[in-house]
A and B are shown apart, each in its own frame.
Chain A
Amino acid sequence: MTSEPARVDTDWPALLHDNSRTGGLGIRAAKAPDHVRWHVRMGSSVRSAPVLRSGVLYVTSMAGNLHAIDVEKGRQVWQFQAADHIHSTPSLSGNKVLFGCDSGKVYAVNCDSGKPVWETAAAAEVWTSPVVRNGVVFFGGADARMYAVDVDTGRKRWTQELGGRVYSTAWVGDKHLYLGGGDGKVYCLDVSSGKTVWSTTTGNGIDSSPAVAGDMILIGSEDFFFYALDAETGAVRWKYETGLGISSSPAVWEDLAVVGSKDGFLYAFEVPGGRLRWKMQISDVVTAPPVIASGLICIQAGGTQAFDIATGSVAWRAGLGGAVQSAPVLTGDAIYVASNDGEVYALE
């Protein structure tokens, strides 16, 4: 059994809620929004997902800014300028917000002041979201390397060369971390050394980020298939063919895994055996990851949409939040979405 990272129940500190990648709210429901409480213009596109803690929303933008937004007032608290465009979804650890940028730099910025704490660098752009586990930050870069650095200092612990660019945010457990590579391989690395434990080849590159359900790694590939791999060996337990490539990252809730495909469908699989419970066409193309609240799946595809988790039927749609790779933050009372057009919305 793969060890589960601890859940954080009150905030939304990382891509798809937390490092367990459930992308969910637990038992809290996300009610249908009926109005925009506020919206803030970032001045450039937002390609990443926001994260939230203690009433502050952190958003990165293509202009190279990290914005901290007070969600009560809908006003910016501070802004940090990075060296280049940012596609990386920030993550929160302690009093630091972590993210990568297109120059290859990865920053740790103080959550309260917006001042830099440390920075480190890959040799090419970092689009992945840094993942923090047991005092170590893990991130991959377009230089085909996986990095582990100290969360307090940014000092490198190890670097591991892989076979392709890394645009897949790692899932990190106590002993192993998992990610997909542009070379089409799903990698399992030792968290202490970075050494490859196993790798499994798919039919094309991977930019989907894995989730873990029980002892299975779930991930999509540009070869059109959604894979469930044995976490210990990398053996394919089951796979399912969609109509086009899969960039979307799966979210897992109980025995259900939900993922979008570029064929425009959202798919819900029963994790143990891979049976398709339902699929629903929700747009022309789906590349963003879904998130899950109690009874609902929420995803940005065109606008922001919510579906009944049991049947896939439409619960509600909001014409805001057009996105390629962003994902909403659900609090139960509000939904925060960022969009390609550079707007961040608070929906209630």
Chain B
Amino acid sequence: MKWPEAWRSLSGIFHSPGVNLMDRRTFVKASCVGSASLFLDGLDPKAFGDVTLPEAPPIEVVHGLRPAKSPLGMPGLFPGRVVEVADSKSIVRNRVSQPVVRDMIERGMKELTGEPSAPAAWAKFIEPSDIVGIKINPSGAPACCSSPEIVREIINGVQSAGVPASNIVVYDRYEYEIDVGSYQALLPPGVHVVGIQDELVDSGYDPNVYCQATFFGEWENRSYMARIVAHGLTKIINVPTMKDHSASGVTGCLKNLGYGTFDNVARSHRSPFSFTDPLIGVMCSVEPLRSKAVLHIMDGMRQVWHGGPLTQVQEFIHQAGILYFGTDPVAMDTVELDVIEKKRRDEGAPSLWEHSAESITNNGMEFYHDPKKNLFYRRPGHIASAGKLGLGVADLSRIDHGQIRLG
């Protein structure tokens, strides 16, 4: 789709003269964000390792234009706070109930913000003049993706803050994945549904905002930020799913945001090694993504505890019926990691921290059907690394995790 002209003018056309590129350039060394010290339910991740993992190379970051200073940017208004709302009626026989998730979202938003009404809660984050992006995760569609029912209710919430449908953009990287999820048909008229990247064309990215590092000798060692994030949107609401991830350990707020905003990200992991730690957190720290991502609503209707992010095997998808709310993506992902880790333990699957050579396979079918197998040595330490970059709280004992059960 094409951008409306009004949005183009808002974007400042990609680059402001007079801004010194060097002012926007930073280097992140792996040693600054390394995952050696973590707080995971008292577990030392090193205890699971019998393989020495390579250290990540330094990552050069060239930021885009940072919006005016605001307390809304990550970790946002409520650092360290996670609100969990559960309702057993929210997903029945794999169908998400629209009215039940409506109540859950209203309750979660009020609980997160302390506001007496849902519209007031939405207004803490969104102004009527905003162009709001809703970053979905369709990559596991149709088995596990951001539920259209939840996205509809988020759209309702954004509209309650005075934003017209024409200034709401539901987006992700690949349009064909959005298509498999049928979001185009299922969302309200007037809302834009955008795939940033045609499978063959990378025209949706800004060549002036990027992360650069060479992980495996790849010839293209930059990942560019999506133009829609760098320029088009003024606020982003992140709607990740809850999944284990073969390379990063879990995919939650941080990975959905970072790897869904930049291109050329698959280069960070080549079996069996992964540099998703620290790249995921570094990407989330890049401006203006960091400032624009103001709210995260994690879809835990379905929780993938093995085979993520793309599995379609229902055996490993737990229909949990939970939503998480927060502004701190690190705290939310820390809670998610804890939940997925416990679920795997309950199911007799190895820890996400396990780095055993015996667990590695190159056989996709074996990986998808055997929870003891994986394609990479997972790197869940990317969450703590993001915490070290100031994106939030990675210590479970310091996270204010409120739990509400509606039914």
Binding site for B on A (CB under 8 A): 43-45, 47, 62-63, 83-85, 102-103, 124-125, 127, 142-144, 164-165, 167-168, 182, 203-207, 222-224, 243-245, 247, 262, 264, 284-285, 287, 324-325, 340-342
Q: How far is the CB of B311 from chain A (nearest CB, A)?
A: 9
Known: A43-B200, A45-B198, A167-B185. Is A84-B2 also a contact (CB below 8 A)?
yes
Could you tell me if A165 and B187 are in contact, using CB atoms closer than 8 angstroms? Answer: yes
* Residues of B40-80 contacting chain A, CB below 8 A: none
B162 in the interface (beta carbon within 8 A):
no
Q: How far is the CA of A342 from the CA of B95 in the complex (A)?
A: 34
Chain B 358-377: CB-based contact to A (< 8 A → 1; otherwise 0): 00000000000000000000
Q: How far is the CB of B278 from chain A (nearest CB, A)?
A: 32
Could you tell me if A47 and B179 are in contact, using CB atoms closer than 8 angstroms? Answer: yes
Q: How far is the CA of A319 from the CA of B142 in the complex (A)?
A: 22
Could you tell me if B187 and A245 are in contact, using CB atoms closer than 8 angstroms? Answer: no
Q: How far is the CA of A26 from the CA of B189 in the complex (A)?
A: 39
Known: A47-B179, A262-B142. Is A284-B312 also a contact (CB below 8 A)?
yes
Q: How far is the CA of A142 from the CA of B142 in the complex (A)?
A: 21
Closest chain A residue to B310, Cβ basis? A284
Q: How far is the CA of A204 from the CA of B184 in the complex (A)?
A: 13
Could you tell me if B199 and A206 are in contact, using CB atoms closer than 8 angstroms? Answer: no
Residues of A with C-beta under 8 A to B271: none
Q: How far is the CB of A302 from chain B (nearest CB, A)?
A: 12
Could you tell me if A262 and B185 are in contact, using CB atoms closer than 8 angstroms? Answer: no
Residues of A with C-beta under 8 A to B19: none
Residues of B with C-beta under 8 A to A340: 176, 199
Could you tell me if B198 and A62 are in contact, using CB atoms closer than 8 angstroms? Answer: yes
Could you tell me if A143 and B189 are in contact, using CB atoms closer than 8 angstroms? Answer: yes
Could you tell me if A324 and B1 are in contact, using CB atoms closer than 8 angstroms? Answer: no
From A164, A244, A341, give the contact of B200 (CB < 8 A). A341
Residues of B with C-beta under 8 A to A45: 176, 198-200
Residues of B with C-beta under 8 A to A247: 180, 182
Residues of B with C-beta under 8 A to A245: 142, 182
B201 in the interface (beta carbon within 8 A):
yes
Known: A45-B198, A245-B142. Is A325-B179 also a contact (CB below 8 A)?
yes
Q: How far is the CB of B231 from chain A (nearest CB, A)?
A: 19
16 pairs, CB–CB < 8 Å, chain A vs chain B: A44-B198, A63-B198, A142-B184, A142-B189, A143-B190, A144-B189, A165-B187, A167-B184, A182-B185, A182-B189, A207-B182, A222-B182, A245-B142, A324-B176, A340-B176, A342-B200
B143 in the interface (beta carbon within 8 A):
yes
B94 in the interface (beta carbon within 8 A):
yes
Q: How far is the CB of B109 from chain A (nearest CB, A)?
A: 24
Query: Assuming A47-B179, A341-B199, what are 7 further A-B pairs, CB within 8 angstroms?
Result: A102-B1, A182-B186, A182-B189, A207-B184, A222-B186, A247-B180, A340-B199
Q: How far is the CA of A84 from the CA of B4 in the complex (A)?
A: 13
From B2, B186, B188, give the contact of A102 (CB < 8 A). B2
Closest chain B residue to A247, Cβ basis? B182
From B1, B188, B200, give the contact of A44 (CB < 8 A). B200
Could you tell me if A164 and B189 are in contact, using CB atoms closer than 8 angstroms? Answer: yes
Q: How far is the CA of A143 from the CA of B175 in the complex (A)?
A: 19
Most chain B beta-carbon contacts within 10 A, residue among A143, A204, A342: A204
Closest chain A residue to B186, Cβ basis? A205
Could you tell me if B312 and A127 are in contact, using CB atoms closer than 8 angstroms? Answer: no
Closest chain B residue to A166, Cβ basis? B185
Residues of B with C-beta under 8 A to A223: 95
From B94, B141, B185, B201, give the contact of A206 (CB < 8 A). B185
**Nearest 9 pairs of A and B residues by beta carbon:** A207-B185, A205-B186, A262-B142, A144-B189, A167-B185, A284-B312, A182-B185, A102-B1, A324-B176
Q: How far is the CB of A61 from chain B (nearest CB, A)?
A: 10
Q: How far is the CA of A83 from the CA of B175 in the complex (A)?
A: 18
Known: A143-B189, A284-B312, A341-B199. Is A324-B179 also a contact (CB below 8 A)?
yes
From A43, A165, A168, A264, give the contact of B189 (CB < 8 A). A165
Chain B 274-317: CB-based contact to A (< 8 A → 1; otherwise 0): 00000000000000000000000000000000000000100000
Residues of B with C-beta under 8 A to A164: 185, 188-189
Chain B 135-164: CB-based contact to A (< 8 A → 1; otherwise 0): 000000111000010000000000000000
* Residues of B321-359 contacting chain A, CB below 8 A: none
Chain B 186-210: CB-based contact to A (< 8 A → 1; otherwise 0): 1111100000001111000000000
Q: How far is the CB of B82 from chain A (nearest CB, A)?
A: 30
Residues of A with C-beta under 8 A to B198: 44-45, 62-63, 85
Closest chain A residue to B311, Cβ basis? A284
Q: How far is the CB of B4 from chain A (nearest CB, A)?
A: 11
Closest chain A residue to B166, Cβ basis? A124
From A167, A287, A342, give the contact of B180 (CB < 8 A). A287
Q: How far is the CA of A43 from the CA of B190 in the complex (A)?
A: 30
Residues of A with C-beta under 8 A to B95: 203-204, 223-224
* Residues of B1-60 contacting chain A, CB below 8 A: 1-2
Q: How far is the CB of B305 from chain A (nearest CB, A)?
A: 18
Residues of A with C-beta under 8 A to B190: 124, 143
Residues of B with C-beta under 8 A to A205: 148, 182, 185-186
Q: How far is the CA of A144 from the CA of B186 in the complex (A)?
A: 11
Q: How far is the CB of B193 from chain A (nearest CB, A)?
A: 8
Q: How far is the CA of A150 from the CA of B154 in the complex (A)?
A: 40
Residues of A with C-beta under 8 A to B141: 285
Known: A62-B198, A142-B184, A207-B182. Is A125-B94 also a contact (CB below 8 A)?
no
Could you tell me if B176 and A125 are in contact, using CB atoms closer than 8 angstroms? Answer: no
Could you tell me if B176 and A47 are in contact, using CB atoms closer than 8 angstroms? Answer: yes
Residues of A with C-beta under 8 A to B179: 47, 287, 324-325
Could you tell me if B1 and A244 are in contact, using CB atoms closer than 8 angstroms? Answer: no
Q: How far is the CA of A187 from the CA of B78 in the complex (A)?
A: 46
Residues of B with C-beta under 8 A to A204: 95, 186
